[in-house]
Homo-oligomer: A and B are copies of this chain.
């Protein structure tokens, strides 16, 4: 069994003292912001004026710098092109009505990035580089944070192998970057999912729990096949029996049977989603009965047939909470009921109210920039 690091809450105050000295800033001479239609944002396709870049060379991360957003140059033998050595995180920045900027559990993203780094043999990024980099970059481009409901500033920290050579071994140079993309919803409209029974996302002892680039490319083809059949996403199952529900690639999966909310346990095959674990805590706080246990496909199909399956939804940073309207399995589509008072809506309201500073944050998850 692979050991996971625990997420230990750190002292946020201690970190803020040295801010602004670490990061050098080269400002863009012009801004692209006037060319952006903030009322019609797609997901992750428009980028702000600046980006953070930090190189790993000679065994150490160099000082991070903020520069105008623009192309990067690499040798064709850079290992990212050949061996997929890359990891990333997904985060969002929120503005409240008083224009204060908030992040949501950013230290958890830093911890998870380093968990991914370890599994992918990438050097870990120091916490102050990550946190101060985020802070300086978002502050600089804060006008790009969308105000329209449902839109947000999507934050993409990522690390990839820039070192050269065709030997199949870890690179000796890396780039850590942060880019910002004002974004609309990840899904538009109802989400139909297909429970996969042929392809798989991850192996026992593999890299499924890491936010590694290759985990995503491997899902594209099976997802395309599902899209051709009229679904939006695939719900992955275990690679050995296809009987256990795992995750949906871009989100963790929750199901509600009668009044119990159930989600699968994380493992070395399943991403430890920050939205997922927040939803578990909020649901408990709402006095919803929560079970974290293995979910079988048979159980979900039976529950759909006998009417006890009330809801299914995905949870993730990009997708927030995305209610599933239909799931397909072995050629049959099962429609979920439309509830007046769904857990999905209730939990989405609770978490977004915390994220946008519209309500008390009893969990201490909000992080002010």
Q: Which A residues fall within an 8 A CB radius of B?
A: 1-2, 42-45, 47, 51, 69-77, 80-86, 88, 90, 118-121, 154, 156, 158, 160-161, 164-170, 177, 179, 181, 183, 186, 196, 198-207, 212-221, 223-224, 239-240, 242, 249-250, 318
Q: Which residues of B contact A82 (CB under 8 A)?
A: 86, 88, 156, 158, 213, 216
A-B residue pairs in contact (CB < 8 Å), sample of 18: A1-B198, A43-B166, A45-B166, A47-B76, A71-B73, A72-B73, A81-B213, A82-B156, A82-B213, A84-B84, A85-B217, A120-B221, A121-B224, A161-B217, A168-B219, A201-B206, A205-B242, A207-B217
Please, which residue of chain B has its CB at the minimum distance from the CB of A204? B239
> When the two chains form their complex, are residues A84 and B213 in contact, meaning their CB atoms are under 8 A apart?
yes
> When the two chains form their complex, are residues A215 and B84 in contact, meaning their CB atoms are under 8 A apart?
yes
Given known pairs A71-B73, A166-B156, A168-B249, the reply for A212 and B84 (CB within 8 Å) is yes
- 7 more contacts with CB within 8 A, not counting A77-B181, A84-B213, A85-B217, are A69-B76, A71-B75, A72-B73, A80-B213, A84-B214, A85-B216, A202-B203
Q: Which residues of B contact A179 (CB under 8 A)?
A: 76-77
Q: Which residues of B contact A196 (CB under 8 A)?
A: 205
Q: Which residues of B contact A223 (CB under 8 A)?
A: 169
> When the two chains form their complex, are residues B203 and A206 in contact, meaning their CB atoms are under 8 A apart?
yes
Number of identical protomers: 2
Q: How far is the CA of A86 from the CA of B207 in the complex (A)?
A: 17
Q: Which residues of B contact A169 (CB under 8 A)?
A: 220, 223
> When the two chains form their complex, are residues A213 and B121 in contact, meaning their CB atoms are under 8 A apart?
no
Partner of A44, one of B158, B165, B215, B250: B165
Q: How far is the CB of A367 from chain B (nearest CB, A)?
A: 22
Q: Which residues of B contact A81 (CB under 8 A)?
A: 80, 86, 158, 160, 177, 213
Partner of A164, one of B45, B80, B206, B207: B45
Q: How far is the CB of A231 from chain B (nearest CB, A)?
A: 13
Q: How far is the CB of A87 from chain B (nearest CB, A)?
A: 9
Interface hub of A166, A214, A217 (most chain B Cβ within 10 A): A217
Please, which residue of chain B has its CB at the minimum distance from the CB of A121? B220
Q: How far is the CB of A356 from chain B (nearest CB, A)?
A: 21
> When the two chains form their complex, are residues A200 and B203 in contact, meaning their CB atoms are under 8 A apart?
yes
Please, which residue of chain B has its CB at the minimum distance from the CB of A71? B73
Q: How far is the CB of A88 from chain B (nearest CB, A)?
A: 6
Partner of A76, one of B51, B77, B118: B51
Q: How far is the CB of A251 from chain B (nearest CB, A)?
A: 10
Q: Which residues of B contact A239 (CB under 8 A)?
A: 203-206, 239-240
Partner of A217, one of B76, B84, B158, B186: B84
